[in-house]
């Protein structure tokens, strides 16, 4: 389930490792779901072979990612697993290292979704559109405080303007990722 701390070396009875820099792990509003991805990779020791120094990034791991429709935050942390590494007494002990998020030399990576653009008044509407039932769709398009046939007509007449100036997700009634005539039909059928 959601939690406010990440596992790692140290006291697991009283967790102390934040998920991202500046996080207060005592604040339940910062709780998140964790996902662990085993890249099945390890560090290359340049002392063992001088040939490794000629590798791209000296053999360091590079992870590329992208997000689609992200609405919150993603934090990236790294772990070292000491199963077969040459680490003496630590060998086979599981998680031996994680990046620091609270001290000098803190590292980690955090991506925050951009703020959603504000809904604005549609030309010839009487006010700013509203979401009359809290489902995330602005079904009172003309801003008169209720859903009515005027919203259907305004949507039909202003489809191109809505697509260019409003947050698409707030007006994409059929969920196909664009503003089109199918949304007008949805408006009409859901009066």
At 77 the pLDDT is 82
Mean pLDDT of 155-177: 93
Torsion of CA 137, 142, 145, 148, to 10 degrees: -80
CB distance 77 to 6 below 8 Å: yes
CB distance 77 to 98 below 8 Å: yes
> Model-level pTM greater than 0.75?
no
Write the DSSP string, 56-91. GGGG--------SS--SEEEE--EEE-SSSS-GGGT
At 148 the pLDDT is 94
Is 90 exceeded by the pLDDT of residue 112? no
Side-chain half-sphere exposure of 53, counting CA atoms within 13 A: 5
CB distance 96 to 9 below 8 Å: yes
Mean pLDDT of the chain: 82
Query: How sure is the predictor about 154, in pLDDT bands with cuts at 50, 70 and 90?
Result: very high
pLDDT tens per residue, range 15-43: 888 888 888 999 999 898 888 887 777 66
Is 60 exceeded by the pLDDT of residue 8? yes
């Amino acid at each position: 389930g959601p939690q406010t701390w990440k596992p790692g070396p140290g006291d697991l009875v009283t967790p102390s490792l934040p998920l991202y820099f500046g996080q207060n792990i005592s604040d339940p509003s910062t709780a998140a779901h964790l996902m662990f991805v085993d890249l099945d990779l390890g560090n290359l020791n340049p002392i063992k072979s001088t040939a490794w120094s000629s590798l791209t990034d000296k053999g360091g791991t590079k992870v590329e990612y992208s997000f689609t429709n992200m609405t919150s935050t993603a934090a990236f942390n790294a772990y070292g697993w000491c199963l077969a590494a040459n680490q003496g007494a630590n060998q086979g002990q599981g998680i031996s290292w994680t990046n620091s998020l609270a001290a000098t030399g803190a590292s980690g990576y955090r991506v925050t979704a951009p703020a959603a653009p504000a809904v604005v008044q549609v030309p010839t509407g009487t006010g700013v559109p509203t979401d009359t039932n809290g489902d995330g769709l602005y079904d009172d398009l003309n801003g008169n405080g209720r859903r009515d046939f005027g919203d259907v007509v305004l949507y039909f007449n202003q489809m191109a303007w809505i697509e260019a100036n409003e947050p698409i997700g707030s007006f994409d009634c059929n969920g196909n990722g664009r503003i089109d005539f199918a949304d007008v039909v949805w408006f009409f059928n859901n009066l």
